[in-house]
Structure 1
């Protein structure tokens, strides 16, 4: 088992996925529609990427902008999407729902996690918009498959969230804090040394892998630079 830090790159299609793997990414997050901060991709996209690369893929389960599940009907749609994605070859997922008060929508998360049947999944940056991060973590503790929190430490990004990230890293192993911290959201290379020094071993990039903007594909060279820094090069 490798001790290398996880470098997860957002992929919108096969070209992104191939470039990210070539650059040294060891996981992908598959989404569509970055204008809505990333929604569930099509089954064809997932199957095409699965056929093109052999690194793990985490597929977004999010059908509408925002962090609300959309009531029972919305959860039904997410559950159907999850089943279809599993049939298309998806084995790992990304999800997260909040209620109107900024608390975790536990019934929605439990229902979706239940149909994933033990598949590993990330609770995404909804945590950065939660009214109480610690309460959210403790409520989700023990849910099957939950192994990662994707977080910037603050809704506004890593610049503001760094103290929170360092504090949460220091609590690793406590109830609600066993999961990997996957840092993403305004993450830059100059943040990496402090995060690594705190024992954080998960890094998530989207725009940073695309120096020419979201209208262009992932740059293998940009990913290689991140891989080099994460590996201490």
Structure 2
């Protein structure tokens, strides 16, 4: 059974995602910069109202994915706090200046997050060599990579996504996300054949998930 994760930037979207069939939500703030760590109050409210799995993004700011020592300490502190809320997983990703994976820092966070699973987010799309990066992310202990195949959106990156799924050989989930919609999910799934897909399901320029879009994403993925 193929599954859908919905990126939610507010509690309303999270509740819509659950009601209309999402398998999991990724909770984050600041849609305009691609997501940052949500406030603890929002995480607690979401946890109280959701029965489906909830992964939380850990990202101190928008912009690049190279972090200062103080930003890295902030990420660790946020993980420690959020772990107590009862989430199901975490989403983060740290790069080096040369656009390779920062193996040491990512490993530290994966270790800190245990026993919860971790998704390496779309920082992956900024790497210089995605084949090498895939192996590095696996070595860090992540369970999933969220990626558009290093292109601006999943349809442009579909060839790369297909190759990543083949290279991964079930050692890690490759979860296509970035411009994924009900209008293209069937074509993408046919080519890439991933197990998980990721979308905000936002279709109107707001920050609220569209219930009809979630239902269509699910239906087209199962058909």
The unaligned stretches of length 5 or more in structure 2 are none
Are the aligned partners of 2:185 and 2:217 in contact in 1 as well (CA < 8 Å)? Answer: no
1:214 matches 2:206: yes
In structure 2, what is the Cα distance between the partners aligned to 1:114 and 1:69?
Answer: 19
Write out aligned runs for 1:1-150 (5 A): 4-144=1-141, 146-150=142-146
Closer, same or farther: CA 83–227 of 1 in aligned 2, 3 Å: same
Shift of 1:212: 2.1
Provide the TM-score with structure 2 as the length reference. 0.93
- Report the alpha carbon displacement of residue 147 of structure 1 after superposing the two structures with TM: 1.0
Structure 1 residues 189-198 or 70-79, which shifts more?
189-198
User: What do the CA deviations read for 1:29-84 (whole angstroms, capped 9, x no partner)?
Assistant: 00000111100001111111111111101100101113434222211110000001
C-alpha contact 2:34 2:62 (8 A) present in aligned 1 = yes
Aligned to 1:193: 186
Aligned 8 A contact 1:166 1:195 in 2 = no
8 Å Cα contact 2:37/2:56 also seen in 1: yes
The answer on whether the counterparts of 1:123 and 1:149 sit within 8 Å (CA) in structure 2 is yes
Structure 1: 5+ residue runs without aligned partners?
none
Q: Which residue of 2 aligns with 1:158?
A: 154
1:205 aligns with 2:199: yes
Q: 2: CA distance between counterparts of 1:112 and 1:166?
A: 28
CA offsets, 1:124-180, max 9 Å, x none? 111111011111121232434x1111011023111221110111222342xxx6111
Flag as ranges the 4+ runs of structure 1 deviating above 6 A: none
Q: Give 3-state SS (helix, strand or coil) of 2:36's partner.
A: coil
Q: Aligned partners of 1:156, 1:91: CA distance in 2, in Å?
A: 28
Asked if the contact 1:93–1:120 (Cα under 8 Å) also holds between the matched residues in 2, the reply is yes
Q: Secondary structure at the match of 2:131?
A: helix
Q: In structure 1, what is the Cα distance between the partners aligned to 2:63 and 2:36?
A: 10
Q: What is the TM-score of this pair, normalised by structure 1? A: 0.89
Deviations 1:162-220 (A, max 9, x none): 110111222342xxx611111101123343234333421211111xx2222234x2222
Distance (Å, rounded) in 1 between the aligned partners of 2:146 and 2:209: 20
| Structure 1 residues 155 and 199: CA distance shift in structure 2, 3 A | closer
Q: CA RMSD in A?
A: 1.6
